[in-house]
Structure 1
Amino acid sequence: MSALQKLFKHTFIYGLATVLPRMLNFLLVPLHTDILPKEEYGEVSILYSWIAIFNVLLAYGMETAFFRFYNREPDKQKVVSTASISIVATTLLFLFLALPLREPLSALSNIETRYIVYTIWILALDALAIIPFARLRAAERPLTYTYIKMGNVAVNLGLNIFFLVILPRLADRTTNSLWNFLYVEDFEIAYIFISVMTASALTFLAVLPMYGKVKWHFDRELWKKMMRYAWPVLIAGLAYTVNEVFDRQLLDYLLPEDIAKGEVGAYSACYKIATFMTLYATAFRLGVEPFFFSHAKNRNAPETYALITQYFVIFGSCILLGVMVYIDFLKVLLIRNDSYWEALGVVPMIIFANLCLGIYHNLSVWYKITDKTRYGAYISVFGAVVTLALNFALIPVISYKGSAIATLAAYGSMMLLSYLLGQKHYPVPYNIKKIGAYLTVSVVFSLLSFYVFNSDILVGSGLLLVFLMLVFYLERKALKRIFLDRYRPGG
């Protein structure tokens, strides 16, 4: 099997682990938006944004460091044990500090104490699964990875449906039945986070046997090397998360109190439509990151990386145009409550921003394989500064539209900056003209479909067909070589 075929196979399987569970999770969007008013959905979104930020802090770049040293060190068990001990120790320390401080944290964040407690346990359980999942990816066991990830979402989805839909119907408020004991009125947000916490706990139990195979030996010198590699990844990850989710908190902070959470709710719900691009980019990154490291020493590695990025852009451009063409169908499928539709205008900017982010992740290969991860931190911090500056400037004027503009400006600038720096430190022969042409055509067609033809499905489908025919005509020979296993760059 060629290097690219193997990459596409793993990306497809990781895509199942990412896309199918998230597609199931999409069922939660109409469920939550049907049951929760915009204000309460906004509160849930703000809590999720805090979880995203602390997930990065509790991982502190150790996952990426694990991949780097797992592929480089001859004693792989030493890497596994050192990384595992590090994550377990910091997670226990987090629990020891955070649980006693739940009341002050509640007062500081203006979030109910019970939600703080749920969040603490979700964060700890997810952190303890980081190295086992990384080990599955490094050992090229994507099917096991997929089963566990899908199980997590199936449990979360099932419990949400039970608590929010089935239980209220089963509960008999006039008797002392079991359902009456379980059901609590106006407890919807708590039920949502109890579902997440239960799914995280079962996921941890699923990966727990992997800890039994760890040789519990801590190599201090190796850990220092891993941390030197990991800290810029932490900074970059934190900055990325600020770009991704901190706008919800800024909207809540900068907008008038009587409309803030409702605006956050509408923005967050419509943001979900752009998740199709995020799912694609995430699945691709999960498959390509180990590939980048394992093929770094190949003579034709730069050419291979260039081709991978080109096809990422091609497929991403198809997704961009496809979502914009069928957005009227998707909005009804995902958000049946039309009070949320007021924020649909941000979707084109958000989905293109996420395509830029996916391109950035592909371009970031240069600083990862050259051990110059500090540049990743610099670039991400630059993006975070752009995000914060534009959000503070625009939110008071145009609300969540300012957040969408800030997201696009941040990810677009990060993509361009990474390309320029990468060509200096690790030149890769990207076909800029072809990549730029695909992006330009897909963006122009998307804008025409959404803004000029008002999402007319017939016109949009015609534009999408023209674009697909263009891609097939220009790429037919290369695609045939890849999928028929006759093209083996770097082999």
Structure 2
Amino acid sequence: MSVLNKLASQTAVYGISSIVGRVLTYLLVPVYTRYFAAAEYGIVTGLYAYVSFLNVVFTYGMETTFFRFANRPGADRRELYDRVLSLLLVSTAVLTAILALLARPLLGLLEIPPGHEQYAVWVALILGLDAVAAIPFARLRLENKARKFAGIRLASILLNVGLNLFFIVLCPEVMKGETLPWLRPLVEAVYDPGLGVGYVFLANLIASAVTLLLLGRELLDFRFRLSLAPLRPLLKYAYPLMLMGLAGMVNETLDRILLPRWLPDNFYPGKSSLTAVGIYGACYKLSIFMSLVIQAFRYAAEPFFFAQSTDKNSPVTFALIMKWFTLCCAVIFVGISLNLEDFGLFLRRAEYREGLEVVPVLLLANLFLGVYYNLSVWFKLTDKTYYGTYIGAGGAAITIALNFLLIPVLGYLGCALATLACYFTMAMLCWRLGERHFPVPYPAARLGLWLLGAAVLVGLGWLVTVEGWWLRHLWHGGLTALFLLALWLVERPRQPRAG
């Protein structure tokens, strides 16, 4: 269990920065949904969908590649770090320039009216800065400097949140003369009321720049080395990961790009397509707690899995990790889905809460995404990353096809169902292929029954309506407690019998 304890402790450290940071960012959702109409928030949702997608292009699988080659016998980690970061610096400069030049076409795809081109330029700069920071962050993870990693991440997020609150909440109040009138000269010097949602991107850009400053030691401890020959094996390993990542981003973000284009006119009476994107994007944020666990786990698990790959007991360890990861995610799925009425209060305007029906679907979808990340260890450890590309491409095909079929019929609920179908299929394919190439004794049937039971309880909670706030909360709380009790009774550790 010492190996699991080590993974758990590192996950906890990474989780502190991830969870606290994400929660702080999540607390901006009530701010955005109070100060911005759904159509305005649709601009934020749409552009950040591109950010998630293009992040994969900017880093093209080099983080995982860095881990893999750094853990090979006799690897010169210093030289590897120099070569990978040199390559990323060059490619990032080129990609950032191209993206900035394509600002207007990019906004046109989201049906964002002219006059907002600077938003896309800021997004390009954010992508560039984050890409440069990726390998120094990976080096910190490789060297088990989880505390420094978490501290820098958290500082960046705190700055981002603080700037959002300053520009979106405080500055308008100061300009009205209702709050801190002595700050008015400063506010008048730095604040432009016409920028609106642009401050969301500007705050992010400033925070990304400060992150690079905080990584100064890692960046200064670097010598530029760019030679194609030593990089060829790295690129050969990385490009399937990039394709896999692109397919993953198709599955994760393409719905918010396709929704405004494939949603029929007046599907939601009196609401524009950007309004629908804003509602869907805000409700998508309520699945953040599942994403938090997955992200924290991934930060710790990827280097951990590579380090454990030579241990003869690693398959048993991987199976145990999968079991407890899935059960923890099942608890999150049940707890949030059955108590969504309370979580929905974070969406301040009533127009946003119209889309709450998508949240349980998205929570379950993200659970299967986490399962897939666990299962994907087999093709990373066997250097068969092309299987990840095939699986991801299959998932992308499902995402595109189902969005095309379901958006005109179900609107943003169709997007959520397409996401669930995609991640479920990817997890099942990865599991079946893994059994053939890298057998791990996963308790698949047992976990499947737990997930089925969780889905049944959530469905029961939604289908059986109870009048009255107290009775309704008692009903939903009782179902949640029932699931937790069942888990404890069946899965609690048991002491071996004496004698």
Q: When the two structures are superposed, what TM-score results if normalisation uses the length of structure 2?
A: 0.92
Partner of 1:54: 54
Measured in 1, the distance between the counterparts of 2:480 and 2:249 equals 32
Q: What amino acid sits opposite 2:475 in the alignment?
A: V
Q: CA deviation at 1:102?
A: 4.1
Alignment partner of 1:177: what SS? helix
Among 368, 391, 410, the residue aligned to 1:398: 410
Q: CA deviation at 1:105?
A: 5.0
The answer on 1:292 being equivalent to 2:293 is no
Alignment partner of 2:197: what SS? helix
Partner of 2:98: 97
Partner of 2:18: 18
What runs of 5+ residues in structure 2 fail to find an aligned partner?
Answer: 266-270
Q: CA deviation at 1:336?
A: 1.8
Q: Deviations over 1:447-489 (max 9, x none)?
A: 11223246932122222222222222222227x89xxxxxxxx
What runs of 5+ residues in structure 1 fail to find an aligned partner?
Answer: 482-491
1:138 and 1:453, CA in 2 relative to 1: closer, same or farther beyond 3 A?
A: farther
Among 142, 166, 169, the residue aligned to 2:146: 142
Partner of 2:195: 187
Note the 1:404-443 alignment, pairs <5 A: 404-443=416-455
Partner of 2:127: 123
Partner of 1:488: none
Partner of 2:268: none
Q: What amino acid sits opposite 1:378 in the alignment?
A: Y
The answer on 1:449 being equivalent to 2:457 is no
Partner of 1:477: 493
Measured in 1, the distance between the counterparts of 2:21 and 2:27 equals 10
Q: CA deviation at 1:17?
A: 1.7
Q: What amino acid sits opposite 1:78 in the alignment?
A: E
Q: CA deviation at 1:152?
A: 1.1
Among 339, 353, 367, the residue aligned to 1:326: 339
Q: CA deviation at 1:170?
A: 1.6
Q: Deviations over 1:88-125 (max 9, x none)?
A: 11111223434445456556665521111111111111
Measured in 2, the distance between the counterparts of 1:255 and 1:45 equals 16
Measured in 1, the distance between the counterparts of 2:65 and 2:311 equals 21
Q: Does the Cα contact within 8 Å between 2:316 and 2:440 map onto a contact in 1? A: yes
Partner of 2:77: 76
1:106 and 1:346, CA in 2 relative to 1: closer, same or farther beyond 3 A?
A: closer
1:57 and 1:181, CA in 2 relative to 1: closer, same or farther beyond 3 A?
A: same
Q: Deviations over 1:310-347 (max 9, x none)?
A: 11111111111111122111111x21211111111111
Q: Deviations over 1:325-374 (max 9, x none)?
A: 22111111x21211111111111111000000000100001100000000
Measured in 1, the distance between the counterparts of 2:262 and 2:108 equals 19
Q: Does the Cα contact within 8 Å between 1:367 and 1:422 map onto a contact in 2? A: yes
Q: What amino acid sits opposite 2:89 in the alignment?
A: V
1:103 and 1:434, CA in 2 relative to 1: closer, same or farther beyond 3 A?
A: closer
Q: CA deviation at 1:232?
A: 0.8
The answer on 1:158 being equivalent to 2:171 is no
Q: Deviations over 1:120-172 (max 9, x none)?
A: 11111111100011011111111111111111111111011110111112226
Q: What amino acid sits opposite 2:273 in the alignment?
A: A
Q: Deviations over 1:176-220 (max 9, x none)?
A: 933223332232211111111011110111113212112433454
Measured in 1, the distance between the counterparts of 2:415 and 2:109 equals 24
Q: Does the Cα contact within 8 Å between 1:313 and 1:438 map onto a contact in 2? A: no
Q: Does the Cα contact within 8 Å between 1:171 and 1:177 map onto a contact in 2? A: no
Pick which of 273-282 and 412-421 moved more: 273-282
Q: What amino acid sits opposite 2:343 in the alignment?
A: L
Alignment partner of 1:429: what SS? coil
Equivalent pairs counted in the alignment come to 479
Partner of 1:280: 293
Q: CA deviation at 1:75?
A: 1.0
Alignment partner of 2:248: what SS? helix
Q: Does the Cα contact within 8 Å between 1:387 and 1:410 map onto a contact in 2? A: yes
Q: CA deviation at 1:78?
A: 1.6
Among 277, 280, 296, the residue aligned to 1:267: 280
Q: Does the Cα contact within 8 Å between 2:69 and 2:75 map onto a contact in 1? A: no
Measured in 2, the distance between the counterparts of 1:85 and 1:282 equals 27
Q: Does the Cα contact within 8 Å between 1:346 and 1:401 map onto a contact in 2? A: yes
Q: CA deviation at 1:74?
A: 2.3
Measured in 2, the distance between the counterparts of 1:413 and 1:406 equals 11
Q: What amino acid sits opposite 1:460 in the alignment?
A: H
Pick which of 216-225 and 372-381 moved more: 216-225
Pick which of 248-257 and 43-52 moved more: 248-257
Q: Deviations over 1:232-279 (max 9, x none)?
A: 110111111111111111111112466211111111111111111111
Q: Does the Cα contact within 8 Å between 2:111 and 2:260 map onto a contact in 1? A: no
Q: What amino acid sits opposite 2:344 in the alignment?
A: K
Measured in 2, the distance between the counterparts of 1:101 and 1:313 equals 42
Alignment partner of 2:493: what SS? helix
Partner of 1:484: none
Alignment partner of 2:439: what SS? coil
Measured in 2, the distance between the counterparts of 1:20 and 1:35 equals 23
Pick which of 63-72 and 173-182 moved more: 173-182
Q: What amino acid sits opposite 1:300 in the alignment?
A: N
Q: Does the Cα contact within 8 Å between 1:172 and 1:180 map onto a contact in 2? A: no
Measured in 1, the distance between the counterparts of 2:352 and 2:339 equals 18
Measured in 1, the distance between the counterparts of 2:284 and 2:323 equals 26
Measured in 2, the distance between the counterparts of 1:379 and 1:316 equals 22
Partner of 2:117: 113
Partner of 1:225: 233
Q: Does the Cα contact within 8 Å between 2:96 and 2:127 map onto a contact in 1? A: no
Q: CA deviation at 1:302?
A: 0.7
Alignment partner of 1:129: what SS? helix
Q: Does the Cα contact within 8 Å between 2:365 and 2:420 map onto a contact in 1? A: yes
Partner of 2:348: 336
1:322 and 1:220, CA in 2 relative to 1: closer, same or farther beyond 3 A?
A: same
Note the 1:351-362 alignment, pairs <5 A: 351-362=363-374
> What RMSD, in angstroms, separates the aligned Cα atoms of the two structures?
2.1
Measured in 2, the distance between the counterparts of 1:210 and 1:110 equals 41
Q: When the two structures are superposed, what TM-score results if normalisation uses the length of structure 1?
A: 0.93
